[in-house]
Amino acid sequence: QVQLVESGGGLVQPGGSLTISCSTSGHTSSNYAMGWFRQAPGKDREFVSAIRWSARTTFYANSVKGRFTISRDNKNTVYLQMNSLKPEDTAVYYCAAGFGIIVSSISSSRQYNYWGQGTQVTVSS
């Protein structure tokens, strides 16, 4: 059973930084991708960023490109470093794991098989 556990959310002022993380367990495959999605109140869940685990190739939504950085350690944790945060970045952030995802579909939530519980990120003064 694959499990994902997120941590690191919180309240931060506009222009500030925050790093959230997601630890995975319950699998041995390296052919997977980890993604971050977010959902603000009243809005659909949207893609934020993803990383292909073996190749370490990274992907970003245009809205966060240049401000957010996704990375992973050598074990089982993926990080999302968020800089220059804006009020519109306020959302529940979810990490997700998908096995055998092709690059052209990496931003599609339907390609991810497992999801974390979500962590709240609030950007406000």
What pLDDT is attached to residue 55? 84
3-state helix, strand, coil in the chain (%, to 5): 5, 50, 45
- Please report the pLDDT score of residue 27 as a whole number: 74
Q: What is the pLDDT of residue 74?
A: 86
pLDDT of residue 98: 92
In 3D space, the residue among 76, 79, 68 whose CA is nearest the CA of residue 21 turns out to be 79
**Which residues of the chain have a pLDDT value below 70?**
none
Instruction: Report the C-alpha gap between 3 and 124 in whole angstroms.
Output: 31
